[in-house]
Structure 1
Amino acid sequence: MSDVTAVRHPVPETVRTLDVLAKAALLLLMFLAVTSPDLGNMQDKGAHARAIGYPLAAFAVPVIWYVWWRERASFPWVADLLITFTCFTDTLGNRMDLYDSIVWFDDWMHFMNTGLLTAAVILLTLPHTSSLGRTLERAVAFGATAGIVWELAEYVAFLSKSTERRSAYSDTLGDLTLDTLGAVVAALVLFVLWRRGQLHRAAPQLAHRAAFAV
């Protein structure tokens, strides 16, 4: 028996609804991307790899929470939404052909989505009392690592077989810079919100660990 009493916090219905809708829309878009890659502008862009990886990422928090955390903390709806949203927006961006039709869209997605993922990781792994230095350290460690992993995955999934590989080096450097910058901005925003008391009331500690639910 656990000697830790879970502290349950109410979450706005809007957050819950957006999270569920984002997951449903993601699954639909991934199904269309696999069955009709040309229609979804996913031809030669790792459609099958995304179809496996994105649902796994989007449902990782619910599975982990249910198996290990449900008796100790309320469900981390905000962090879960941030993770799901990154998968959904990337898929939707391809579906709407925004990556190829808007020059700066890829840069924006690297900055925004890495920032959102970093915010989710910080919310799940750090207490609201963390110092600015510790928050930035976690952000840079995750953001830079996630950026490297993504670039390697892109290369293996489709860039190695694409004509885009000729310009991949300079693009990768820019993407990694934006990934790290997005992570740092996310850390600064969360730190300010924590200091203003706008998040910590909904972030109970998870059983003797530095893991928090929002």
Structure 2
Amino acid sequence: MSAPRPVPAWVVVADVFAKVLLLLAVARVALDPGWGNLEGKAPVARAVTYPMLALLVPLLHALRALRARGRPPAAGERDRPYPWGGDLLVTMPAFSDLLGNRLDLYDRVVWFDDAIHLVNTAALSAGVLLLSGAAAAPLLQRLEVAVAAGLTVSLVWELWEYFAFVTRSAESATAYADTLGDLAPGWVGAVLAAGLVRAPDGTSGPAAHRWRGEKVEA
């Protein structure tokens, strides 16, 4: 088994930078929703759920390390590095949504909402591909994973928006059309992620080898 390629330093810096700015931003939004242009858009709910999303990968990685204690490591676990790339991709949607609202791009730029749904769904789908090891799979299997993950996340987001603030806002009359308009670019983003994300040679870890069809010892 070849050693995994080192993670570029800029990915680590970008991931840490995005998390720090996100935590500072949600703290400011919780105190002053007007700062983030989030009046009537569930600012408190965003201040709670966005850090949860940003800390999801570190938490899962820590839990996996705890489970691995006291037993022989499985194939590929010894040299399996922290998934900085996947972590950054999962953090990006929360960070970009707060930034877009802070700059008032959702109201000032007509196409920004569609673009952010495409980009954020692509980022989350790509993150799932990398974290699950499916980035090492053939294109058809990458499509299956990316579309399933991307549309599931998009649906969860639309349900979150609906119950968090849409039912109590002026957007309730156009919620159906807006939801369809958000899911469509999300699907495109998931397909793009499947086509663009491909694990390079040297990818290691049990998940990656399962997708390649190789036998992994328990």
Same topology, TM > 0.5: yes
When the two structures are superposed, what TM-score results if normalisation uses the length of structure 1?
A: 0.86
Q: Is this contact kept in 2: 1:144–1:180, CA < 8 A?
A: yes
Return 5+ residue gaps in structure 1 as ranges.
Answer: none
* 1:23 lines up with 2:31 in the alignment: no
- 1:29-178 alignment runs, 5 A limit: 29-69=25-65, 72=77, 73-178=80-185
Structure 1 residue 139: deviation in Å? 1.0
Aligned positions, number: 200
Summarize the Cα distance change of 1:120–1:208 in structure 2 as closer, same or farther, 3 Å threshold. closer
Q: Percent identity among equivalent residues? A: 42
State the secondary structure of the residue aligned to 1:182. helix
When the two structures are superposed, what TM-score results if normalisation uses the length of structure 2?
A: 0.85
Summarize the Cα distance change of 1:40–1:128 in structure 2 as closer, same or farther, 3 Å threshold. closer
Summarize the Cα distance change of 1:75–1:156 in structure 2 as closer, same or farther, 3 Å threshold. same
C-alpha RMSD of the superposition = 2.2
- Whichever residue aligns with residue 193 of structure 2, its letter is A
Q: Which 4+ residue blocks in structure 1 deviate beyond 4 angstroms?
A: 207-211
State the secondary structure of the residue aligned to 2:33. coil
Structure 1 residue 209: deviation in Å? 7.9
Structure 1 residue 129: deviation in Å? 3.7
Structure 1 residue 205: deviation in Å? 1.4
Q: Is this contact kept in 2: 1:127–1:205, CA < 8 A?
A: no
Measured against aligned partners, the alpha-carbon deviations of 1:41-61 in whole angstroms (never above 9, x if no partner) come to 011111111111111111111
